[in-house]
Amino acid sequence: MKERLAMAVHDEIASLVRRAAEIVVFSGAGLSADSGIPTFRDGATGLWNNVDPDEVASIDGFMRNPRVVWNWLRELKNLVDDRQPNPGHRAIARLERIVADKRLTVVTQNIDGYHSRAGNADVLEVHGTIHRLRCHARCGFADEWGEDLREPFPCPQCGAPARPDLVLFGEALDPEVFTAAGRRSARADVFFCVGTSFTVQPAAHLPVWAKASGATVVEINPHRTPLSEVADYSIRAGASQFFAALCQTLAPDAVDATDA
């Protein structure tokens, strides 16, 4: 593992990207913190500081009192809707455009949808999304979570509860989405990890699977994590600095108005 304390992108990482056919960017809550979305357990601003996660974000809580879970998640959605993708999201989207001859997949634990809003086309949301509702019984009903849907309601197709289409505590990940994420990770030549503490399972297995399959694993995080010891590169920087510098190294003459 080569730990980099400087924020500059090193030519050797850009060279790895140039030679790669498959690239994965794996993101967690730390990436969206710069958009004003609190991480879950961080200091005085963590989402869980003033609530019981079992009451507001678990499947057991939803079955006991769906209105409490619905209302808390709706407030979180309002916060997400009020914020914007940050320069880190936009730099990752720009990287996808720069390496258009390769396959770049974003695998995210975040439910905010900011990668797609920033411009990434190939996004796997392993924890779901706060922008969509679905039938709890998975009968096939799904709909955008619009402003007019402010109260819990039964599925219009089968009568089971409708609910936010995200993974609550006590639930398994969507097997189709996670299987796709695992396959992309195993095929990656370069696997970037950004803004994640690597403590949330099973998503934390993805960089380990990638490395075991031969990928170069690059961690971008201002702080050390459990992945730091096994990553090929552990870079002490934020996403915006790192990916903006990487894009500049890969395409120094490119002008991209969407980065403004």
Q: What is 1-35+85-127+172-260's CATH topology? A: Rossmann fold (3.40.50)
As a whole-number percent, the residues of the chain with pLDDT over 70 amount to 89
Residue 38 in 3-state DSSP?
Answer: coil
Q: In the chain, where are the structural domains located?
A: 1-35+85-127+172-260, 38-82+128-166
- Decide if 193 contacts 224 (C-beta within 8 A): no
Architecture label for domain 38-82+128-166 = 2-Layer Sandwich (3.30)
Preceding omega of 226 cis (within 30 degrees of 0)? no
> In this predicted model, what pLDDT tens digit does every residue of 188-208 receive, in sequence order?
999 999 998 887 788 889 999
Query: Is the pLDDT assigned to residue 47 strictly greater than 70?
Result: no
DSSP 161-213: BEEEEEPPBT-PPPHHHHHHHHHHHHH-SEEEEES--S-STTTTHHHHHHHHT
Residue 192, pLDDT score: 97
Confidence tier at 46 by pLDDT (50, 70, 90): low
Q: Considering only CA atoms, which of 108, 171, 105 is closest in space to residue 134?
A: 171
Residue/partner pairs of 10-19 with CB below 8 Å, 24 or more apart: 11/249, 13/190, 13/218, 13/233, 13/246, 14/246, 14/249, 14/250, 16/189, 16/190, 16/216, 17/99, 17/190, 17/246, 17/250, 18/250, 19/189
Is 223 in the active site? no
Radius of gyration of the chain (CA): 19
Least confident residue range of 45-49, 178-182, 225-229: 45-49
Residue 259, pLDDT score: 47
Among 31-40, 125-134, 200-209, 233-242, name the most confident range: 125-134
Confidence tier at 256 by pLDDT (50, 70, 90): low
- Whose structure tokens read 């601003």? 45
Confidence tier at 5 by pLDDT (50, 70, 90): very low
Q: What pTM was estimated for this model as a whole?
A: 0.91
Catalytic residue among 10, 89, 115, 127: 127
For residue 212, what are its two tokens? 């075991």
Strand order in the sheet with 142-144: 142-144, 128-135, 162-166
Confidence tier at 39 by pLDDT (50, 70, 90): confident
